[in-house]
Amino acid sequence: MNRRAFGDKLTVIYDIDEEVNCFIPSLLIQPLVENAIVHGIQRSKGKGVVTISITESGNRVRISVRDTGPGIDPQVDRSR
């Protein structure tokens, strides 16, 4: 996504453990970040934050993408 399109409306925070020692293809994370921006930040009023966290535990790596958007409306039918 073009970050310039959001100007100061979007802040991205990278929270990556220094101990993580692996290669993660960017195309693995890109859809998660785009989803957070499109469905979270673009829908919110004012500024938004997307946080990308990567941690390692044993032989596993955990990737987390969070946003400060409004979340899913409780009225939305998620059973589809």
Q: What is the pLDDT of residues 22-61, one digit of tens each?
A: 888 989 999 999 999 988 888 778 889 999 999 998 889 9
Asked if residue 80 belongs to a domain, the reply is: no
Average pLDDT, the chain: 86
Asked if residue 50 belongs to a domain, the reply is: yes
Q: Is the pLDDT of residue 2 over 70?
A: no
> What angle (nearest 5°) sits at the alpha carbon of residue 21, between those of residues 20 and 23?
110
Per DSSP, the three-state class of 75 is coil
Range of the domain at 56: 3-67
Asked if residue 57 belongs to a domain, the reply is: yes
Q: What sign has the CA pseudo-torsion 68, 62, 74, 36? A: positive
CA 62 to CA 80: how far, in whole Å? 27
What pLDDT is attached to residue 6?
73
62: tokens are: 């955990």
Number of structural domains in the chain: 1
CA 57 to CA 61: how far, in whole Å? 6
Asked if residue 7 belongs to a domain, the reply is: yes
What pLDDT is attached to residue 15?
96
